[in-house]
């Protein structure tokens, strides 16, 4: 039995004002996939079985995989065996943000019945003009809502969204929405700031992915942009 693995980062954050790092599987990505192939795909129970399993799971701040969610399974409930293999693979190096270990969600589509040599690892989406230039464009396009200024709303915020295969953005939301039209203004600025490049596989195939965009609002800096 041979496999194709498409490993997507789920909600992988872009960093603007802080240092972040991805979680790393035990032994590195290639060794992790090799282990899954030997422990799961080579199981005699799955001979001649084909199909795609999609899992979402969390790597907590201690590097332990937990909180599994089965997005797609085969009729034989093969996903439970895949979860066992992922757990038995060992501990991960957790994600880090601002020098502190943090929990992080991952998404793993796992396809049975195609060549093992086809190992795909997605790259993260990014602004076409580069992150620093995009940040500048975002701030230039952000128009501080008057009601937010009057209420003294400022500080650190974060937008989350999907980047489609054509680079367009969808499902844009602000985490912990403060109200006062901040979310609406941030979404407009994000869309006007520039195009995005989608996540891609090793062979250059674009894939849908989630990401986030942290930003900081300062009343002093934005008073000239009152709507």
- The pLDDT tens digits for 28-37 are 877 887 788 7
**Between vectors from CA 210 to CA 154 and to CA 177, what angle results, nearest 5°?**
25
Are the C-beta atoms of residues 170 and 227 closer than 8 Å to each other?
no
Are the C-beta atoms of residues 161 and 221 closer than 8 Å to each other?
no
Is residue 25's pLDDT more than 80? yes
* Long-range residue pairs from 178-184, CB within 8 A, at least 24 positions apart, any chain: 178/148, 178/153, 179/153, 180/145, 180/147, 180/148, 180/151, 180/153, 181/145, 181/147, 181/148, 182/145, 182/148, 182/153, 182/157, 182/217, 184/145
| Mean pLDDT score, 159-167 | 88
Instruction: From 117, 115, 53, 121, select the one nearest 81 (Cα to Cα).
Output: 53
Mean pLDDT to the nearest integer, 145-172: 87
Instruction: Kindly report, residue by residue over 128-144, the tens digit of the pLDDT.
Output: 988 889 999 998 898 88
**Mean of per-residue pLDDT scores for the chain:** 79
Kindly report the CA angle at 19 between 136 and 109, in degrees rounded to 5? 95
Q: Which of 91, 70, 92, 90 is nearest to 81 (CA)?
A: 70
Q: For residues 138-155, b (16+ Cβ closer than 10 Å) or e, as one string?
A: bbebbbbbeebbeeebbe
Cα distance between the two ends of the chain: 61
pTM (global) more than 0.85: no
- Which residue bears the tokens 């975002």? 138
What is the C-alpha separation between 120 and 48, in angstroms, rounded?
22
CATH match of 126-225 with 3.30.1150.10: yes
Q: What is the mean pLDDT of residues 16-32?
A: 72
Q: Can you tell me the distance from the alpha carbon of 17 to that of 27, in angstroms, rounded to the nearest whole number?
A: 30
Instruction: Outline which parts of the chain fall under CATH 3.30.1150.10.
Output: 126-225
Residue 215 near residue 144 (C-beta atoms within 8 A): no
Q: Record the tokens describing residue 33, joined without a space.
A: 């996939």
Binned at pLDDT 50, 70 and 90, residue 164 comes out as confident
Top CATH class of 3-121 equals alpha beta
Distance between CA 103 and CA 95 in Å, rounded? 7
Query: Percent of the chain scored above 70 by pLDDT?
Result: 79
pLDDT above 60 for 91:
yes
């Amino acid at each position: 039995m041979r496999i194709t693995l498409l490993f997507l980062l789920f909600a992988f954050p872009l960093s603007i004002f802080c240092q972040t790092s991805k979680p790393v599987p035990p032994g590195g990505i290639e060794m992790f996939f090799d282990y899954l192939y030997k422990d799961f795909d080579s199981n005699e129970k799955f001979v001649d079985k084909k199909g795609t399993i999609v899992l979402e799971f969390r790597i907590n701040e201690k590097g332990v995989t937990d909180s599994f969610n089965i997005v797609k399974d085969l009729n034989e409930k093969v996903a439970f065996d895949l979860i066992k293999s992922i757990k038995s693979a060992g501990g991960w190096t957790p994600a880090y943000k601002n020098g502190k270990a943090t929990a992080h969600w991952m998404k793993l589509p796992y396809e049975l019945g195609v060549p093992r040599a086809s190992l795909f690892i997605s790259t993260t989406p990014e602004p076409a003009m580069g992150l620093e230039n995009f940040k500048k464009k975002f701030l230039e396009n952000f128009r501080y809502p008057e009601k937010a200024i009057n209420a003294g709303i400022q500080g650190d915020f974060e937008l989350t969204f999907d980047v489609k295969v054509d680079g367009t953005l969808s499902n844009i939301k602000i985490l912990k929405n403060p109200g006062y039209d901040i979310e609406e203004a941030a979404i407009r600025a994000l869309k006007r700031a520039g195009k995005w490049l989608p996540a891609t596989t090793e062979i250059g195939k674009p894939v849908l992915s989630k990401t986030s965009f942290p930003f900081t609002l300062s009343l002093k800096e934005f008073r000239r942009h009152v709507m």
